Every structure is written in structure tokens, then in C-alpha cells.
Amino acid sequence: MDRTLAELADSGDDRLVEIAGVTGDGQVSWRLREIGFCRGAAVRFVRRAPLGDPAMYELHGATLSLRRSEASRIRVRSRAS
């Protein structure tokens, strides 16, 4: 079952998951996909900022920070083993 990246961060789940897609089709979604949050990419939640938001994610060997509002647009699923 799909979850969002924000839900992943909320539950503190730091397993590697796969991106299923990005909700919405405006500029926000386009840019998130351009920077690598694209269907099929592997992503991992790393930690949240001291004040709870944003959160750090590991994507393609890089570390990126996303706010909750953006992370909740990104749907993820368990990686097919």
C-alpha cells in the first residue's frame, strides 16, 4: 500500500523505499520530479529538523531537505525485493 514520504518521516521509518509517483501536476510536482523525486527512484528518510520540520531524505547518494507540505505529495511504496 502506498504511503507518502511525509508519513514515512512521521513514523520514523528509515528503510529504503521506492517512489511511486508525485501527486498533482503543477510547477511544484514538476520541479520535485526534476530534482530526482521521480517514479522508481530509491529514497530513505534520515532525520527531522530539531523543530520537527523539514526533514532530511537520502536520494541517489545526496541528502535533501523537504518540508512536510512537499513531502506529502510524494507517494512511496516498499521496494520490490
Which stretches of the chain bind another protein, using CB under 8 A? 26-28, 30-36, 38-41, 46-47, 49-54, 56, 58-67, 70
Long-range interactions of 32-37: CB distance < 8 A, separation 24+: 32/70, 32/73, 32/74, 35/64, 36/60, 36/62, 36/64, 37/5, 37/74
Cis peptide before 50 (omega within 30 of 0): no
- Give the separation between CA 72 and CA 46, rounded to whole angstroms: 16
Which one, 3 or 28, has the nearer CB to another protein?
28
Q: Which is nearer to another protein, 52 or 78 (CB)?
A: 52
**Smallest separation, CB 38 to another protein (Å):** 5
The CB-of-52 to another protein minimum distance in angstroms stands at 7
Please state the closest distance from residue 11 (CB atom) to another protein, in A.
18
